[in-house]
Amino acid sequence: MGITFANITLMSSLGLLKSGMSVMDIGSSNLYSATREQILGLWERFAAPGDVGERQKRAEAMAEGSYYDCVTGGRNGAWVGELFERCGFSYQSIDIAKGYKTTVFDLNAEEAPDAWKSAFDLVLNFGTTEHVLNQENAFRVIHDLTRPGGCMMHQLPVGGHTDHGYVVYTMRFFMDLARGNDYEVVYVSVNEGGRRDILPWIHYIGKYFPAFAKITPREPLVMQNLGLAIVLRKKGDERFRTCLETTTSVTLKEK
């Protein structure tokens, strides 16, 4: 998982970044596409402690480690957690493997520890929950971690991404999630992520399950990858309510 500095800038513009805040990262995120000047600017805004020379050197190293392009991927040499901690934020993450300030955690089965419930001002889910089979538990954990008045920021696939994970979300999912749990929708946008021919992936699966090899769509079978960025504010401290999709039902009336 990775978070670009453009996303950090967006968080700042929405007022999500505040001195002394606590952040939980759902999946330990690498920092992508950051410059030395951007990193230093954020640290200076939040009066990051430490020797100026050391801070400048560290910012340069992090900027180099944040290099990313859509062809070769990222160097994965910089962490969002370090960026935030040098701002004076409290940072923790949960993931299936060790990372920066990471607790190994299974979103399929585990529940938020009591000490973490309603404890975080900002919970980030940048490309993690689409890899989780138990969606109900994953979003319950995110809800439970967020304090009343705190925000959850998701950046997740809503189109294409046919070989990426288990789930490609719909707008209806987030509408019902927000309505069912009385979340305020603070921000939402959809971004294009490039077009992809899915036929090679179908044939790859065919090596393991021959029935897939028989799929012969008219080439090229190209899909547009789309990503959703959405910020939800948890207004109260009620228990998580599971979504029930009723708006397309032919027997239930919209209330």
| pLDDT: which is higher, 73 or 108 | 108
> Where do we find the tokens 């189109």?
159
Of the candidates 76, 131, 118, 81, the one whose C-alpha atom is nearest the C-alpha of residue 102 is: 81
So what's the pLDDT on residue 217? Answer: 67
Min mean pLDDT across 14-18, 19-23, 224-228 is at: 224-228
Of the candidates 208, 228, 245, 74, the one whose C-alpha atom is nearest the C-alpha of residue 153 is: 228
Whether 246 is covered by a domain: the verdict is no
Whether 244 is covered by a domain: the verdict is no
Whether 156 is covered by a domain: the verdict is yes
Distances from the Cα of 135 to the Cαs of 17, 34, 71, 213, in angstroms?
A: 27, 31, 30, 29
Reply yes or no on whether the pLDDT at 255 is more than 60: no
| Assigned token pair, 199 | 């036929």
So what's the pLDDT on residue 62? Answer: 97
**Other CB atoms within 10 A of residue 210 CB:** 9
Tell me the one-letter amino acid at 131: H
The whole-model pTM stands at: 0.92
| pLDDT: which is higher, 1 or 2 | 2
Reply yes or no on whether the pLDDT at 16 is more than 70: yes
Whether 248 is covered by a domain: the verdict is no
Whether 242 is covered by a domain: the verdict is no
Q: What mean pLDDT value characterizes the chain?
A: 92
So what's the pLDDT on residue 193? Answer: 81
Strands 120-126 and 2-4: unpaired
Give residue 204's domain range.
Answer: 2-234
So what's the pLDDT on residue 132? Answer: 97
Of the candidates 169, 162, 170, 157, the one whose C-alpha atom is nearest the C-alpha of residue 223 is: 162
DSSP class per residue in 101-132: TEEE--TTT----GGGTT-EEEEEEES-GGG-
Residues 6+ apart with CB under 8 A from 15: none
Whether 165 is covered by a domain: the verdict is yes
Min mean pLDDT across 2-16, 106-120, 206-220 is at: 206-220
User: DSSP class of residue 254?
Assistant: P
So what's the pLDDT on residue 71? Answer: 65
Residues 6+ apart with CB under 8 A from 77: 30, 61, 62, 64, 65, 66, 67
Q: What is the pLDDT of residues 112-155, one digit of tens each?
A: 999 999 999 999 999 999 999 999 999 999 999 999 999 999 99
Number of structural domains the chain divides into = 1
Q: What is the pLDDT of residues 148-189, one digit of tens each?
A: 999 999 999 998 788 788 999 999 999 999 999 999 999 999
Q: What's 167's domain CATH number?
A: 3.40.50.150
pLDDT tier, 218 (very low <50, low <70, confident <90, very high otherwise): low
Q: 12-18: which pairs have CB atoms within 8 A and are 24 or more residues apart?
A: 12/42, 14/186, 14/187, 14/231, 16/122, 16/151, 16/153, 16/231, 17/46, 17/87, 17/89, 17/122, 18/121
Reply yes or no on whether the pLDDT at 199 is more than 60: yes
Reply yes or no on whether the pLDDT at 57 is more than 80: yes
Whether 239 is covered by a domain: the verdict is no
Whether 255 is covered by a domain: the verdict is no
Q: What is the pLDDT of residues 65-100, one digit of tens each?
A: 999 887 677 788 999 999 999 999 999 999 999 999
